[in-house]
Amino acid sequence: MIANIDTSLIDWSRAQFALTAMYHWLFVPLTLGLGIIQALMETLYVKTGKEYWKTTARFWMKLFGINFAIGVATGLILEFEFGTNWSNYSWFVGDIFGAPLAIEGILAFFMEATFIAVMFFGWDKVSKRFHLASTWLTIAGATLSALWILVANAWMQYPAGMHFNPDTVRNEMLDFWAVALSPVAINKFFHTVLSGWVTGATFVIGVSCWYLYKKREQAFALRSIKVGAIFGLVASILLLWTGDGSAYQVADKQPMKLAAMEGLYQGEKGAGLVGIGILNPNRSSYDSPEDPFLFKIEIPKMLSLLAERDADAFVPGITDLIEGGYTDKTGQPALSAKEKIAKGKRAIQALADYRQAKKEKDEAGMAAHRTVLEENFAYFGYGYLQDPSELIPPVGLSFYSFHIMVLLGGYLILLFLAIWILHRKSTFLQMRWLHLVALWSIPLAYIAGQAGWIVAEVGRQPWAIQDILPTIAGISRLETASVQTTFFLFLILFTVLLIAELRILIKAIQAGPETETAHSQTNEYE
């Protein structure tokens, strides 16, 4: 069946899903980050009673609302695509994958939809504390939405808490908490949410610096910069911690992704971490003799330390993972890709034999085939692959995306630190070059976030579900032309929505806060 699927259908379906996801992620991080910041500002208003904090909170809340509305639209389309373009995937794991998405819709999204009305329209109509509670509950709902979506995504990276039912040919959930609280899910949630916080902080600082550059609303801008810089610095430092956790989980659960991220072909003990490097475009295959790099600066033994918590530990490279033979973490010789593919094909054949025996009411045959299936199910997805090289994700895209993300993350930490130190100086208002640097750092935060998702999703190819279901086996039976048509329709729609949001945001920013009670008092924020 798989062999008969048009590869162009797979490519276009993947492209459509990637398009929707990338557009959606233009809105989500700002929702997560800006939501917390404006809630903190409202908290300061309730605590101090100072009206200028109310003015500040309401302005950022307005921008939050513009972004939130368009983010919802793209998110809904993304969830529908699982059923339209990836029906085999939905059938195979719908019992598990659908659970967190259902909770997201019923609980988290309901919280957002309920309290957001009070947050926007309840000013001066409800008590300060009730309004503040509504604001925080709205942000909590948005964060919980992210939690359950990320739990679902993490399960695709590390399937846990389930078993395969050969009677229904579906994976069924055994332990909900094993799915929800897996180490990959917890780490992914915190890392992703923190990246949104960093984006929100960068946005607030950048927009505020634009006001300073234009010599407008200086008191408002300085207040916002103070909150944004502190918030961004704390979030970015925590992001370093969760990033380390992510690397460790990838090394443990997805070693091929780690090897691609680092351009590591030959494994070694005391493996170094590439800080900056240029891959050799002439390297044509995993076993070709060319050097993987034209140039690289490496931190000795750092990759082993991050991946295995041991500076002298062995880290397998792409060639090792394909050819096997090295000693894995269990102390056993690692299987080669060919051996895994063979086991996968035995599992697929055992499933077919089991279903035939069931049809013939051969209980002994059913038991025998089920045993073979269970013994080899860990490699079930490998059975759909024909060539070991299919297990290698796009190395160049994974490597450069990862290093762009890391370098930009380091840059943003320095930016927050510099802004925090300099914003208290009397000369800060005259540092027009720094105002422009902060403003143009906004797109860099988005690039870092998008690069992170490219690493996460491209780096795990060919898997839709790690080791269990390759992308080629999750596709719907559709006409390629229909997927192409919807791809361009979505491209036009999302682009229009993005342009509309940018125009509305820019117009709102140009208009400025509703009131500025102390426009000329630049020290009011202290």
Average pLDDT over residues 202-215: 95
For residue 515, name the pLDDT band (cuts at 50, 70, 90): low
Q: Is 158 exposed, middle or buried (0-12, 13-18, 19+ CB in 10 A)?
A: buried
Q: Please give the C-alpha separations between residue 125 and each of 47, 98, 247, in angstroms, as whole numbers.
A: 19, 39, 48
Q: Is the pLDDT of residue 518 over 70?
A: no
Percent of the chain with pLDDT over 90: 64
Q: Please give the C-alpha separations between residue 184 and each of 156, 173, 232, in angstroms, as whole numbers.
A: 10, 17, 24
- pLDDT higher for 75 or 300? 300
pLDDT of res. 475: 86
d(CA 194, CA 197): 5
3-state secondary structure 149-196: HHHHHHHHHCCCCEEEECCCCEEEECCHHHHHCCHHHHHHHHHHHHHH
Query: Is-contact 175 161, C-beta < 8 A?
Result: yes
Q: Please give the C-alpha separations between residue 140 and each of 72, 154, 190, 237, in angstroms, as whole numbers.
A: 16, 20, 14, 22
- Each residue of 459-510: pLDDT tens digit? 999 999 999 999 988 888 888 888 999 999 999 998 998 898 899 999 999 9
Compute the mean pLDDT over every residue in the chain, rounded to the nearest whole number.
89
d(CA 291, CA 21): 35
Segment holding 200, helix H or strand E: helix 183-213
- Each residue of 318-328: pLDDT tens digit? 999 999 888 88
pLDDT of res. 54: 92
Other CB atoms within 10 Å distance of the CB of residue 154? 26
d(CA 26, CA 58): 22
For residue 84, name the pLDDT band (cuts at 50, 70, 90): confident
Q: What angle do CA 346, 159, 306 make, to 5 degrees?
A: 110
What residue ranges do the domains of the chain occupy?
A: 2-254+393-511, 260-323, 337-384
pLDDT of res. 4: 56
Query: In one letter, which amino acid is 146?
Result: A
pLDDT of res. 66: 86
pLDDT of res. 6: 64
